[in-house]
Amino acid sequence: MTGTFRAIRVSKGEKAPQVEFANLTEADLMEGDVTVAVDYSTVNYKDGLALTGAAPIIRNWPLIPGIDFSGKVEKSDNPNFKPGERVVLNGYGVGEGHNGGYAQKARVKGDWLVKLPEAISNEHAMAIGTAGYTSMLCILALEKNGVTPDKGDVLVTGAAGGVGSVAIAILAKLGYRVIASTGRASEADYLKGLGAAEIIDRGELSGPAKPLGKERWAAAVDCVGSHTLANVLSMTKYGGTVAACGLAQGLDLPGSVAPFILRGITLAGIDSVMAPMAKRVEAWKRLATDLDMKKLDAMSVRAKLDDVPKLGQEIIAGQVRGRVIVDVNA
């Protein structure tokens, strides 16, 4: 159909969002000064929430979900972007309050876009996605707080998920000894292939935490929250840092101030949605040098736009390993 493009559009339903495939025109897009021909998107936990209605993520109805996309600039009224330039978008409320990446076209504010480093293809950009970009923000926070490989092990929780998988690959390449926590024992070989030196069962961390536990790791990347985060903090070595970026187990933190006061632990909160542009550019620059693209390929699967609603359900159920690259034009 001339002048139309394909998209997933979600409308408000009585019990759950109504997900449909639609042929739209540019008139259906929201305000912005840059129009992007989208090549790829991905499926993050937050996308699963939007597609299934498991949490009230969507703020405008109807909406094109998808918090990430990569593509080429098609039209621009923003002086910082020219047609043909390759760009990536993560967060800024896209896929929540503004039309997102599950479409062949997107119109957004240029201030939300990052120009992709030469070493990262549009496809790899979505193998990375918000999950991988968040992983890099976590690692930058650990480095800022003086966590170096000689300080000791680094724990990664929710290890088989997107954030966890990329974090393991980057940390291993940077020379850290990585402990991976997962509830999926069958993923041990996969995690070791990414660079994990040791696998522990998430059950060791998912129950109520002691105020202080045995010191086991110098730092951690936590994607889980709740009791898991409380346990991670209680077992972090003196002066260590925990980067917290997820809430798969819950929003609560049923722990103690003891690790902070008696061991000088730092809890670094990681926000990927509204992170300042300087941090985003630094994270993508580091991803270009510190992430082994072969390992990224090993943790990635390919999908079409048609597959996205089912994948949304699977990621909420904890059934998606690693990263999903969605070719919106396939």
Domain count, the chain: 2
Domain boundary among 221, 248, 269: 269
What stretches of 152-220 show up as alpha helix (H) in DSSP? 162-173, 188-194
For residues 58-83, average pLDDT: 97
| Within a domain: 294 | no
Are 101 and 155 found together in one domain? no
Q: What is the token pair recorded at 112? A: 């939300």
pLDDT tens-digit map of 173-211 = 999 999 999 998 899 999 999 999 999 999 999 999 999
Residue 45 CA to residue 83 CA, distance in Å, equals 31
Q: Please list the residues that pair with 5 across neighbouring strands.
A: 24
Query: What's the confidence (pLDDT) of residue 128?
Result: 97
Structural domain boundaries enclosing 239: 131-269
Residue 110 CA to residue 325 CA, distance in Å, equals 23
**What CATH code is carried by the domain that includes residue 58?**
3.90.180.10
What stretches of 145-187 show up as alpha helix (H) in DSSP? 162-173
Residue 282 CA to residue 287 CA, distance in Å, equals 9
2, pLDDT greater than 80: no
pLDDT tens-digit map of 23-41 = 999 999 999 999 999 999 9
Q: Packing angle between helix 162-173 and helix 277-290, nearest 10 degrees?
A: 60
Residue 235 CA to residue 232 CA, distance in Å, equals 5
> How does the average pLDDT of the chain come out, rounded?
96
Are 108 and 144 found together in one domain? no
| Within a domain: 78 | yes
Residues contacting residue 276 through CB under 8 Å, at least 6 positions apart:
none
Asked if 48 contacts 312 with a C-beta cutoff of 8 angstroms, the reply is yes
CA distances (Å), origin 244, targets 171, 238, 247: 16, 18, 9
pLDDT tens-digit map of 255-311 = 999 999 999 999 999 999 999 999 999 999 999 999 999 999 999 999 999 999 999
